[in-house]
Amino acid sequence: MFDAELRDELLRRMDRDQAVRTAVPVGELLPPEIDEEWDCVEAGNTAFLKGVIAKRGWPGINMVGEEAAHAAWVLAQHADADPEFQRSCLPLLRAAVDAGQAKPSEWAYLIDRVRVAEGRLQVYGTQYWTQDGVLRPRPIEDPAGLDERRTEVGLAAQADYDRTMRELYE
């Protein structure tokens, strides 16, 4: 059943998440007050999404609409302070994907985020870092099969994604 109130709250929380994440230009250090706000927003969003999932399950497209279902994924993706929660979202998001209630590409991003946090190789090449002053993807499992895997979940070829990441973050 569609829940307009939940939709609106997810969208509001995603907007706040994005506002704090873009408050400082890429490459600049976060001032302490922005860093504290970032942590507060992330903690609040994580607690909120945990509550939603506990009561209603994963907020998929039929429940909140496509944009707010995306917002739920954003909140999970950015719950880096709670990697156990992120990991627990993987089967829920996978089930939502299988039911047509979430995008496979979002599941791929979350898999990579969780694997990188665990010190493992990522599968889809979505996670980047700056190492020795150079922006690059985190290590990838089976690089030869990367573009095939990316295509299967609706992601662009790695070369195209790499170009986009460099335009955004270099």
Both 19 and 77 in one domain: the answer is: yes
Q: Locate all alpha helices (DSSP H) within the chain, ordered by sequence.
A: 4-21, 32-56, 61-64, 66-77, 83-98, 104-117, 146-152, 158-169
User: Model confidence over 105-138: pLDDT tens digits?
Assistant: 999 999 999 999 999 999 999 999 998 889 999 9
User: Model confidence over 55-109: pLDDT tens digits?
Assistant: 999 999 999 999 999 999 999 999 999 999 999 999 999 999 999 999 999 999 9
Tokens linked to 49: 């999404």
Q: Is residue 154 part of a domain?
A: yes
**141 is in which domain, residue-wise?**
128-169
> How many other C-beta atoms can be found within 10 angstroms of the C-beta atom of residue 49?
25
The pTM score is 0.94
Q: Is residue 113 part of a domain?
A: no
User: Model confidence over 41-56: pLDDT tens digits?
Assistant: 999 999 999 999 999 9
Task: Give the alpha-carbon dihedral of 136, 140, 145, 149, to 10 degrees.
Answer: -90
- For the chain, what is the domain count? 2
Contact 138, 122 (CB under 8 A): yes
CA 21 to centroid of chain Cα atoms: 13
